[in-house]
Amino acid sequence: MAKISVFGIGYVGVVAAACLARDGHSVIAVDVDPGKIKSINAGLSPIVENGLDELIADAVKQGRLEATSDVQYAVDNTDASFVAVGTPSAPDGSVGLVYVTDVCKNIGKALKNKDTWHSVVIRSTIVPGSCETACIPTLEEESGKKAGVDFGMGYYPEFLRESTAIEDYYDPGLIVFGAMDKPTADILTELNKDLPCDINVVDLRTAEMVKYCSNTWRAVKVTYANEIGNIAKACGLDGQKVMEILTSDNKAIVSKYFMRPGFAFGGSCLPKDVRALRHLAREKGIKAHLLEATLEANEAQIQRAEDMVTKSGAKKVGFVGVAFKPGTDDLRESPLATLAGRLIEKGIEVSIYDPYVAEAYATETPGAGRGNDVIPNLPERITTDLNAMLNDTGAVVVGNLYSETVEALTKSAKSRPIVDLTRLNKELVSDGTYEGICW
C-alpha cells in the first residue's frame, strides 16, 4: 500500500484522500485552514458530499487518515504528494497558478531535506505546459534537485462531479496521467489498476490538455443544448423533447448528461477552464470562436433568466436551489447565485430554499457558503420551510430539482409566476403563469 500526502483539503483533495484511505493507503491531508484540519482529525468532513462523512470517519478511526499543516512532516512520511489546490481565474482570464506554485514552493523546501525518492503529482486543473513552466521550476529552485532525476513528477487530472464524486472515483469514465519517470508512473498505475477503466499513460502536457478538453467539451455541450432549446421554443417546440430524441442516438452522441437544455453552466471548473483555454488560444494567436461564443452564450442564458423574472413584476422572489448544481453546497461561480445577486441589486427581495447549503450552515461546516461573493447576507436568506417561502413570494425561480419540492411547486405554478430553469416535470410547458427557460 502507498503512503500519500494530499495538499489541499478542498473538494478534490478531501474526496481523493478519503477514497485512498478507504482503499487501504496511508494518507496525510495538508492544508493551511485550521478548521479543515480539525474537522478531518475529528473524523468529520469539511464539505457536504454524499457518502463522504462515513468514509472520513472510518478512515480516521482505522488510523489511515490524518490532517496537518506541517509540510515537512507530510513529505517525510509519504512516498508521493498530490497537489489538489484551486486554480481560480486570474483577472485576465488565464489560469491562476498562485496556490499551486505556493504549495510547490513548500514541497520543494521539504524535498531539500529529504534523502529518499519522493514523487510530486499535480491534480489541480492547469493549462498545457504549466507543469514544465511553473511547477517544475519552482520545485527545482526550492529543493536544489532535478525533476525526473532526483524526485518524481507527474500530472494526474481528476474527473469527479460534485454530488457523485465517490461513485465517479470508483467508476471513472477516463483515467489519464503523465509522468516524467518510472517510479511516478508505477505508483499512479498501482493506484488505478483495479478500476474498471483503461489507463492512459502519456506525457505531462497531453494529460494537462485532456483535462481541459474534457471540461470545455462539457461546457460547449451545455451551451449547444441551451441554444437549440432557445431556438426550439421560439418555433413553438419543446427544446428538451428535441434533444431527448437527438441523444437517443448513443452511437453518435457521446453523453446525455450535458445535452439537456436548461440554465447556464457554473461551478469551480467549467467557467474558469473555458476562460483559461480561451486565454491560451489568444496567446498562441489562435482564434477560438466557439470558446468565445460559449462564454458569451452562457452569460446570455443568465440574462435570459433575469429578463424572465423581471417580466413577472414580482418584488419578492423565492429561489429553489442556489448552489451551482443539486446535491452540493458549492456556490463557486453558480449562475443561480449570480442571478439572485442581480435581482437583489434591483431591489427585489430574495429568499432561498436549498437543503444542501442550509445543511452546511446548520452544521457549521468550514466550507459553508464557499464561493459566494454575490449574495449579501446569504445565511439570513436561507429557509428550510418551502411552503412558507412559496406563500410569501410573488414569483419562484426553480434552479435545482429536489424531489421533495416537485408537488408543491407544480401546484404553485397554477397560481403564481414560476420561472423554471431545470424542469419540474416533462408535462409542463410554458403556459400562463408557468414559464420554462427552454420549453
258 is in an annotated binding site: yes
Sheet order of strands, 316-320 included: 349-353, 316-320, 395-398, 418-420, 434-436
For residues 298 and 292, the answer to whether their CB atoms sit within 8 Å is: no
Give the residue from 355, 366, 364 showing the smallest Cα distance to 329.
Answer: 355
Q: Are 178 and 202 in contact (CB under 8 A)?
A: yes
Is 269 among the catalytic positions? yes
Known binding residue 209? Answer is no
Q: Which of 157, 139, 162, 159 is nearest to 149 (CA)?
A: 139
C-alpha span between 439 and 171 (Å, rounded)? 33
* 261 in a known ligand binding site: yes
Q: Is 326 annotated as a binding residue?
A: no
- Distance between CA 260 and CA 3 in Å, rounded? 41
Q: How far apart are CA 330 and CA 333, in angstroms?
A: 9
260 is in an annotated binding site: yes
Does 87 appear as a known binding residue? Answer: yes
Query: Do the annotations mark residue 162 as ligand-binding?
Result: yes
196 annotated among ligand-binding-site residues: no
CB–CB of 400/325 below 8 Å?
yes
| Residue 101 among known ligand-binding residues | no
Is 8 known as a binding-site position? no
Q: Is 277 annotated as a binding residue?
A: no
Residue with cell 414560476: 418
Tell whether 366 is in a known binding site: no
Distances from the Cα of 240 to the Cα of 212, 225, 245, 267, angstroms = 27, 9, 9, 23
* Given 19, 104, 269, 438, the catalytic residue: 269
Known binding residues for NAD(+) are 31, 36, 87, 125, 162, 272, 332
Q: Which residues are catalytic?
A: 269
Known binding residues are 31, 36, 87, 125, 159-162, 211, 258-262, 266, 272, 325, 332
Known binding residues for substrate are 159-162, 211, 258-262, 266, 325
